[in-house]
A and B are shown apart, each in its own frame.
Chain A
Amino acid sequence: GAVVSQHPSRVICKSGTSVKIECRSLDFQATTMFWYRQFPKQSLMLMATSNEGSKATYEQGVEKDKFLINHASLTLSTLTVTSAHPEDSSFYICSARGARGTSANTGELFFGEGSRLTVL
C-alpha cells in the first residue's frame, strides 16, 4: 500500500512551452503533497507544499507564477512548469502524506518515482 505515482516519468519539450506533471496517490488519500526538484549532483530541494482545496505554499525563491501547483482532489496534485526554459530542466519529485484517520497517516512521507524534464 501507500503508493505514489508520477506521470510522465520523462518529458522533453521546447523552450517556451508549458509542461504538466501529475502526482497521484494510488491507494490512499493525501491531504498534503510536496514537490521537490533536484539538479544534477545536488540535493532535493522542497519547492512547495500543496494542500487539497487550497493554495499551495511556496518556499522562498520559488516563483509561484512559474510553477503552478493544483491539488484539486485527495489523490491528485499537478505541477505545471509554465513557459519552460532550459534552466528549468531538472528532476521533479513529489511526495504525499496520508490523510488523518486513514491507515496511511503514519507520519511517513511516500514518494513518487520522479519526473525528468528536459527543456530544449
Chain B
Amino acid sequence: GNSVTQMEGPVTLSEEAFLTINCTYTATGYPSLFWYVQYPGEGLQLLLKATKADDKGSNKGFEATYRKETTSFHLEKGSVQVSDSAVYFCALNYGGATNKLIFGTGTLLAVQP
C-alpha cells in the first residue's frame, strides 16, 4: 500500500545549522510529494511540493527533490532560523485527487538561538 515514513523527532539545532529531515515513501504509480509545516498554534501550511521525478520543490530557503530511484523526498535548508521551529509533515497524494493525502508522522524541529 501507500505510505510515508519520516524521521522521528525532535530535531534540535542551533541557529544557522544545516537541516535535513528524511522522508521516504512507498506508492504505486507516480504520486505527488509534499512538505507541510505547522507552526505552534496554527494549521498545516503547504511548504513545497514536487509532482514528478527529479522535480525540486523550494520555498523559504527549504528544498526537497523527488528521487524516484530512492523513493525519497528529503527536506533540506542550508541555514535554519529560530522562526523555522515547527512540525514538518511529509505527504504524498495518490489517486489524482488532492484530498487523498497520506501523511508521515511529523517531525518536530526546534531551533535554538
Whether A34 lies near B99 (C-beta < 8 A) is yes
In the complex, whether B70 has a CB less than 8 A from a CB of chain A is no
Given contacts A42-B105, A43-B105, contact A111 B99 (CB under 8 A): no
Contacts of A114 in B (CB 8 A): 43
Contacts of B17 in A (CB 8 A): none
In the complex, whether B27 has a CB less than 8 A from a CB of chain A is no
Whether A32 lies near B99 (C-beta < 8 A) is yes
Contact with A along B70-108 (1 / 0, CB 8 A): 000000000000000000010000000011111111100
How many A-B contacts at CB < 8 Å in the complex?
48
Q: Which residue of B lies closest to A57 (CB)?
A: B99
Whether A93 lies near B98 (C-beta < 8 A) is no
Whether A113 lies near B43 (C-beta < 8 A) is yes
Whether B99 lies near A49 (C-beta < 8 A) is yes
In the complex, whether B42 has a CB less than 8 A from a CB of chain A is yes
Contacts of B100 in A (CB 8 A): 46
Q: Which of A66-74, A75-83, A102-110 contacts B (4 or more CB under 8 A)?
A: A102-110
Q: Which A residues between 36 and 77 are near B, CB-CB below 8 angstroms? A: 36, 38, 41-46, 49
* Measured CA separation A97–B101 after assembly (Å): 13
Q: Which B residues between 39 and 78 are near A, CB-CB below 8 angstroms? A: 41-46
In the complex, whether A95 has a CB less than 8 A from a CB of chain B is yes
Q: Known pairs A46-B101, A49-B99. 15 more at Cβ < 8 A?
A: A32-B99, A36-B103, A41-B105, A43-B102, A43-B103, A43-B104, A43-B105, A44-B106, A46-B100, A95-B44, A107-B98, A109-B99, A111-B44, A112-B43, A113-B41
Give 9 closest A-B pairs by Cβ, nearest first.
Answer: A111-B43, A111-B44, A44-B103, A113-B43, A43-B103, A112-B43, A43-B105, A113-B42, A108-B46
